[in-house]
């Protein structure tokens, strides 16, 4: 079954705390993405990963870092979270450059 799974689905953190968002996919897709979605701003690309340990910045990488040690798993890390990082974060995967993304269910992060 083709599925992208995100954990946790909901998270509340205080400003300055570290945040780990995790994403897994069961399709052996090479390419994985992290986007954030804010009202009126659409989906903004944070990072893209082409395979294990092959990551590239997207359009808004500042304040974020990623880790991909296994093809099926892609993590987004916020070191010392800020209130303006309150958002819904979506992980997605695709096979090569098909342009078709499979999205996870999203992780809603609130930073107080």
Partner 1 sequence: QQQVRQSPQSLTVWEGETAILNCSYEDSTFDYFPWYWQFPRESPALLIAIRPVSNKKEDGRFTIFFNKREKKLSLHITDSQPGDSATYFCAASSDTNAYKVIFGKGTHLHVLP
- Examine residue 50 and tell whether it contacts partner 1 (CB under 8 A): yes
Stretch that binds partner 1, among 15-23, 63-71, 75-83, 95-103 (CB under 8 A): 95-103
Nearest residue (CB) to partner 1, 31 versus 87: 31
List the one residue from 33, 34, 64, 74 that touches partner 1 (CB under 8 A): 33
For residue 101, what are the contacts with CB-CB under 8 A and spacing of at least 6? 33, 92, 93, 94
DSSP state of 53: T
Residues facing 48 on adjacent strands? 33, 56
- Examine residue 106 and tell whether it contacts partner 1 (CB under 8 A): yes
- Examine residue 34 and tell whether it contacts partner 1 (CB under 8 A): no
Q: Which tokens go with 47?
A: 């990072």
Residues facing 25 on adjacent strands? 4
CB of 16 to partner 1, least distance (A): 29
- Examine residue 90 and tell whether it contacts partner 1 (CB under 8 A): yes
Residues facing 14 on adjacent strands? none
CA dist 49 and 103 (Å) reads: 15
Binding site for partner 1 (CB under 8 A): 31, 33, 35, 40-45, 48, 50, 56, 58-59, 90, 94, 96-97, 99-101, 103-106
């Amino acid at each position: 079954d083709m599925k992208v799974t995100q954990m946790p689905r909901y998270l509340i953190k205080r400003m300055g705390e570290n945040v780990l968002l995790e994403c897994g996919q069961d399709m052996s897709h090479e390419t994985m993405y992290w986007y954030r979605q804010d009202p009126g701003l659409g989906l903004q690309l944070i990072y893209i990963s082409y395979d294990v340990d092959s990551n590239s910045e997207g359009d808004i990488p500042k304040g974020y870092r990623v880790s991909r040690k296994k093809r099926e798993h892609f993590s987004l890390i916020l070191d010392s979270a800020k209130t303006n990082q309150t958002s819904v974060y979506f992980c997605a995967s695709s096979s090569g450059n098909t342009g078709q993304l499979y999205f996870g269910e999203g992780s809603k992060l609130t930073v107080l």
